[in-house]
Structure 1
Amino acid sequence: MSSAPHTRSRLRTVLATALTAAAISVAASAAPASATGSVFTPVPPHNPYAGPDGTATMHGDTGSSDTTPLAGPGSGTLTSKRVALASACPTVLVGSDGYPVVLCTPIFGQVPTVHLLDPDDGSSIAELALTKGSLLGGVYAYIDQEDRLVVIDGSRSLLRVGHHQDADGDWKLTIDRSLSLTSVIPEDDAVTGLSPDWRGRVWFATGNGLVGTADDRTGTVRALRLPDGEKVANSISTAPQGTLVTTTQATYLLTATADGTPRISWRQEYDRGSARKPGQLSWGSGSTPTFFGPGDGTDYVAIVDNADSRVKLQVYETATGRRICSTPVLLSGGAGSENSPIGAGRSVFVASTYGYPYPAVPADAGDSVPASADFKGGLTRVDVRADGTGCDLVWDNTLRSAAVPKLSLADGKLHTVLRDPLIPGTSGTSLLDPYRYAEIDPDTGKVTRSFQVGVGSLYDSLQMAGTAAPGGVYYQGTVTGVLRITTK
């Protein structure tokens, strides 16, 4: 790749053109987002303090819709490349300049490391090690409106990491701004999730149930402790109405006072079950809460509970917290999900992770009951009724998604990586399982195209989120690096 500044300008133009075309497509409500007629719009509004929708956060946007305005690989012959980074890489983000920024945890040392990738071939062209913290501290981050990675490291500092090209054309990652949060976060706690609000403040939630705001322009940090015993094991979501936080016992919508102090607008408990399930990282909901809805894309909130016998999709009204429905999901597969639901228009998609063989769980996760289980898979679509009186199951299957699926509003497909059993027809897992990239029709739940990306544990996508990038490139984090999936 040429490292000259005109390359960066070219990529910015390509991305801007792609996003403009996608925005026009999404805005045209008469244009279906799927091949067979369903309309999966609107999605949450763009946050002015985040990067491009679809690529700014692990879940696409600050509303955690897990949608993207970008298309996946085109109609040519699929191909993939494994970018070996000797790290688990759960977070692949792309700013307005088209450069992928990846947050990884190396296999050896486990010190969170930021990589800047060459958009032409996916190779790492710069890296920066951060201060080591908790397991989930190396997972959640976002891209801001200036293409900087925003992350909170193990020193409990809010960082903005920029990428810059020097006079020789070489790229460097630098900490452009830093703010310590030690005034409110105790030494024995760590940030799990963060997201910007519509005033430019950064909201954060810690593992031990502290929720706060930080303004690194003024140095102001404020916090609120949630009830004792409630932990936060997933990221958080923001929309103009406020900030969503799902703890191991309840979902909250929070707003802030004039000085940034969080306050609770509503709280809804859910069935957390009697214990952590195999294939989950905490005892409670595995959901980063999702804003979605047919009005402005934020009418409703969706999570999946952790009920013992049958998990349910819980949908609440954003304005009031009133429950819209409690609908059983994953009826054919495993009854548990560690993944954030996809939310678009009136539709929600839920993927099962029950029985997924995570190699490690957080130290305070507790034992799972049972100790292990087969990975049966499962993917469900539920629609909220047009009059808002409840929800209906649309389809349910046993696809074994090994990643957080993404819904493209440009090509009308669900994109994910499937983990096939070594012995067809079984539901066990092994170190020799094959993995394949798959495109799924959101109207039927059926696979329309797939391609094997590799065999064996080097290709394990470990329920991490994929990201559609400009130019028909799909990035998927794995336990050893990143897959770059495109067409010839």
Structure 2
Amino acid sequence: MRRAAVVAGLGATALLTIATSTASAFGPLPPANPYLGPAGTATMHGDAEASDTTPLPGVGAGGVNADFHEEGAACPTILQGADGLPQALCTKITDRAPEVLLLDPATGNTLAKLDLTKGSLLGGVYAYLDEQDRMVTVDGSGSLLRIGHQRGGDGSWSLSIASKTDVTQAVSGHCGGGSCDEVSSVSPDYQGRVWFATDNAAAGFVGADGVARSLVLAPGENVANSIATAPQGMAVATDHALYLLNVDGSGNPQIVWRQAYDRGPARKPGQLSWGTGATPTFFGPGSGTEYLAITDNAATKENLLVFDAASGNRICSVPAIDGTENSPIGSGNSVFVASTYGYPYPALPANAGPSQPASAPISGGMTRIDVTGSGCTVVWTNTVPSSAVPRLSVADGKIYTFTRHSLLGSGSGGLFDGSSSGSSGLGSGSAGATDNYSFAVVDAGTGKLETEQFVGATTVNDTLEMVGTIAPGRIQYQGTTTGLYRITPK
């Protein structure tokens, strides 16, 4: 089923701090990984380094068309290969099992579906496209899958498993076998190994010989986010520490360095685990991977932590945001962090634990922090209530996301309690079925909200802090709780 909406601009949210200097050019992008599809569209976070950047220009700040496609599934990962065909990894509402969708690039309609074996909640979230445009993921059976697509003689499309590698021994062997652990994320390195991490903090890789090798990062730790790979190695954050891994002389995974962080007294509302909510982000002004960033879980303000990627030495710790489940954007000397504090997730991982407080209003807000010679400096903050993982286009210098605003009353004559300027507590109301969701564009140089265009006000429009993917042709795909949007210039 498909629903189309032509949307109009709304008012801008007020800035708390505005940079006085002119916007600098962003980039460079991380180096191209030869075992990935196109830069910007091959992984959830854009590239192997999880920079959340793209070399492609976005939809822009003009009017947009927002076509919604109901799929009966939440679609956090939407990727596009060199052949131009979008692919989505979704989690079905009925049984929370993952499925892969092949989409028509001209319309966003579904061309083919493939059901996968159900695993943990995060098992239907993280995947990437390899250099042959095949989706790579690990399903609930413990198999590393490469999923291809093909067109039949009658013109119809189908999806099929091109290859399967069993990784169960490397995953569950650390806890006596059985189904005690599951792979949550995968990413290729620059030699073609497929690295993985598990819910219970085992990490390793599948090599060219098809053998999976792994180690346990630390007993009692858990992984609740994706991993990132760069020439320096594989980065993974547990709910206690940030790690860099590589391969030792015997061809086995080894820990290069470990940096513990402040995990706070408990999980915050708007987070999925007690610890960092961030996938590690490689970035830098030279090679594009000199630095490695995460957020901690300190009370009451979470810090952005930036490390030297090679040595693990900490460059800075700067108060950034109330709380977040989003990976930072990293580009050049700049890092952008968006708050998810108070965001009401409909489902949590099994070991998430209670939050303190039990619930809270969505606070909103984004921050840009630049790495300087003397450490790190806050450049701007705003009050934009981002409801998706933002994506930076280095081509146009804009940050693309969605926003979520609560209706603060009825019969007021306006969407936002009579105000569209951001001055009446936008984003501060409790979440509900009548919240408004909008496509939003932020100037990365100044933090100014350039446009905010309403797309819907029901739970099916909930973008659920999922990632938007910018495809060639100024098209953006954005998952929601029950399907996906295809956003194009009006």
| TM-score past 0.5 threshold | yes
Cα 1:312/1:76, change in 2 over 3 Å: closer
Report the residue type matching 1:468 in the other structure.
Answer: I
Shift of residue 411, structure 1, vs aligned partner: 1.6
Q: Is the 8 A contact 1:213 1:260 kept in 2?
A: no
Once the two structures are superposed, residues 186-218 of structure 1 have per-residue CA deviations (whole angstroms, 9 ceiling, x without a partner) of 111011111001111100000101001113x42
CA–CA distance in structure 2, aligned partners of residues 40 and 365 of structure 1 = 36
1:404 has 2:416 as partner: no
Cα 1:256/1:209, change in 2 over 3 Å: same
Question: Out of 99, 107, 114, which is 1:113 matched to?
Answer: 99
CA–CA distance in structure 1, aligned partners of residues 66 and 254 of structure 2 = 46
Identity %: 56
Once the two structures are superposed, residues 283-334 of structure 1 have per-residue CA deviations (whole angstroms, 9 ceiling, x without a partner) of 000000000111101110100000011110000001111110000112xxxx
Paired position in structure 2 for 1:200: 192
Question: Out of 291, 310, 331, which is 1:319 matched to?
Answer: 310
Written as runs of structure 1 = structure 2, the 5 A alignment for 1:46-445 is: 46-74=32-60, 77-186=63-172, 187-215=179-207, 217-258=208-249, 260-330=251-321, 335-385=322-372, 387=373, 389-423=374-408, 424=416, 425-426=424-425, 427-428=428-429, 429-445=431-447
CA–CA distance in structure 2, aligned partners of residues 402 and 336 of structure 1 = 13
CA–CA distance in structure 2, aligned partners of residues 264 and 228 of structure 1 = 14
Structure 1 unaligned residues grouped into runs of 5+: 1-34
SS in structure 2 of the partner of residue 436 of structure 1: strand
Point out which structure has higher relative CO (alpha carbons under 8 A, 6+ apart). Answer: 2
SS in structure 2 of the partner of residue 222 of structure 1: strand
SS in structure 1 of the partner of residue 310 of structure 2: coil
Q: Is the 8 A contact 2:386 2:402 kept in 1?
A: yes
Shift of residue 74, structure 1, vs aligned partner: 4.7
CA–CA distance in structure 2, aligned partners of residues 37 and 322 of structure 1 = 29
SS in structure 2 of the partner of residue 329 of structure 1: strand
Q: Is the 8 A contact 2:397 2:445 kept in 1?
A: no
Q: Is the 8 A contact 1:74 1:486 kept in 2?
A: no
**Cα RMSD between the aligned structures?**
1.2
Cα 1:443/1:166, change in 2 over 3 Å: same
Q: Is the 8 A contact 1:268 1:321 kept in 2?
A: yes
Once the two structures are superposed, residues 35-64 of structure 1 have per-residue CA deviations (whole angstroms, 9 ceiling, x without a partner) of 953111112111110111110100000000
Question: Out of 469, 476, 479, which is 2:478 matched to?
Answer: 476
Report the residue type matching 1:198 in the other structure.
Answer: Y
Which stretch of structure 1 is more off in the superposition, 117-126 or 187-196?
A: 187-196
Shift of residue 77, structure 1, vs aligned partner: 3.1
CA–CA distance in structure 2, aligned partners of residues 75 and 447 of structure 1 = 10
Cα 1:249/1:76, change in 2 over 3 Å: closer
- Per the normalisation by structure 1, the TM-score is 0.90
Cα 1:260/1:431, change in 2 over 3 Å: farther
Q: Is the 8 A contact 2:60 2:441 kept in 1?
A: no
1:451 has 2:453 as partner: yes
SS in structure 1 of the partner of residue 154 of structure 2: coil
